[in-house]
Amino acid sequence: MLYDCIIIGGGIAGTQAAIQLGRYSTHRILVIDAGHGRSSICHTYHNIIGWPEGVTGEHLRKVGQEQAESLGAEYIQDTVMEAARDGERFVVTTGTGKRFSAHTILLATGMLDRYPDIPGLQHALGYSVYICPDCDGYEIIDRKTVLIGSGEHASGMAVLLAERTPHLTYVNHDREPIEDRLLKHLQKIGVDYEEQRVTEVRADEHRELQAIVLEDGRVLEAERGFIAFSGKHVRTELAEQLGVTLESNRHVKTDPRTKMTDVEGVWAAGDIGLHSELSTIAMGEGTQAAIWIHKKLRKIHKSE
């Protein structure tokens, strides 16, 4: 079957796009989702309208898929390994050897954060240990908070978080060097600094952070935490295969109005793009891309 649009990635951006495209009632849509991503990790989105008590990424993915499928979108769980143009069409090949073709492609493959394998961290991650200061900075207001990270990359986040709480400790887990001027600035704004590895993250049965244990055996009590490590993996391998131009940080630059890349027929939305990495922005970009994909498909079908 020739699809009108193949959406690669079933997270927030990809599923929102599938819902919007489905509501046009005229398109054959396939969503290929590997089944994991940033939205799978976050368990407490508090910045989405209508969810003041928080909503999990897993729940949004689940109900979003159900909504998209009710509008005719097809979902398969697989990983796209190859993507290429074949004349006026695009062909993708999955890890299980399946091949699908479409008039258009939306890349919503997202990105993955790097974080070390610290015992207990995974238990609290997405509940009381966060990644994005724009999303979750509100959660640490006046609370005892630890930032576990690496070098100057995390020192920048420490400055942002210090605006939310006077009880912040930055632990340079990777012991990467930091310029003296930055250390002095952290000291000036009241951030405590430790340069040693974290050996354990302690959280209770409700995944509420209690403390972290340092390499020297000291236990630092904390109510909330953040992680900030360099080396995030932006999943733009398929974009490269399709000839899409990447920025120096490997993110995809898209037309701000249409979200189309510099390759005709290929769109991108969500965290692989150049924008603030919020779920709400990913939703908007998914919808925005879908509107313009629909415009493109109308032209294609009129010419057939």
Of the pLDDT bands very low, low, confident and very high (cuts 50, 70, 90), residue 286 is very high
Contact 232, 114 (CB under 8 A): yes
Provide the residue type at 217 as one letter: G
- At residue 242, the pLDDT reads 97
Closest alpha carbon to 104 in 303, 296, 272 = 296
Please give the DSSP secondary-structure letter assigned to residue 199.
Answer: E
Residue-wise pLDDT for 159-187, tens only, equals 999 999 999 999 999 999 999 999 999 99
In this structure, the number of other CB atoms found within 10 A of the CB of residue 95 comes to 11
In order of their start, the domains of the chain are: 2-113+232-301 (3.50.50.60), 121-228 (3.50.50.60)
- In the chain, the N- to C-terminal Cα span, in Å, equals 16
Residue 135 has pLDDT above 90, yes or no: no
Residue 81 — pLDDT band, cuts 50, 70, 90?
Answer: very high
Cα dihedral value 163, 168, 169, 174, nearest 10? -40
Q: Which two tokens stand for residue 45?
A: 């989105």
- pLDDT given at position 288: 97
Q: Is the pLDDT of residue 277 over 80?
A: no
Q: pLDDT-based confidence at 232, cuts 50/70/90?
A: confident
- With tokens 């994991």, the residue in question is 36
For the cut 70, the answer to whether the pLDDT of residue 55 exceeds it is: yes
CB 110 within 8 A of CB 250: no
Q: Which residue from 199, 236, 204 is spatially nearest to 219, judged by alpha carbons?
A: 199
Residue 44 binned pLDDT confidence (cut-offs 50, 70, 90): confident
- Between β-strands 192-194 and 29-33, what pairing exists: parallel, antiparallel or unpaired? unpaired
Mean pLDDT value of segment 193-217: 97
Strands (E), 23-88: 29-33, 74-77, 80-86
pTM tops 0.85 = yes
Of the pLDDT bands very low, low, confident and very high (cuts 50, 70, 90), residue 214 is very high
- The pLDDT value recorded for residue 115 is 85
Q: Give the pLDDT confidence score for residue 276 in this predicted structure.
A: 66
- With a cut of 90, say whether residue 4 has pLDDT above it: yes
Confidence of residue 1 (pLDDT cuts 50, 70, 90): confident
CB-CB contact of 299 with 26 (8 Å) = no
Structure tokens, 7: 């959406």
Taking residues 117-122, report their average pLDDT.
94
> For tokens 């089944």, what's the residue?
35
More confident residue, 239 or 58: 239
pLDDT above 90 covers what percent of the chain? Answer: 80
Q: Quick check: 114 pLDDT over 90?
A: no
What would the pLDDT profile of 12-34 be if each residue is shown by its tens digit? Answer: 999 999 999 999 999 999 999 99
* CA 116 – CA 254 distance, rounded (Å): 32
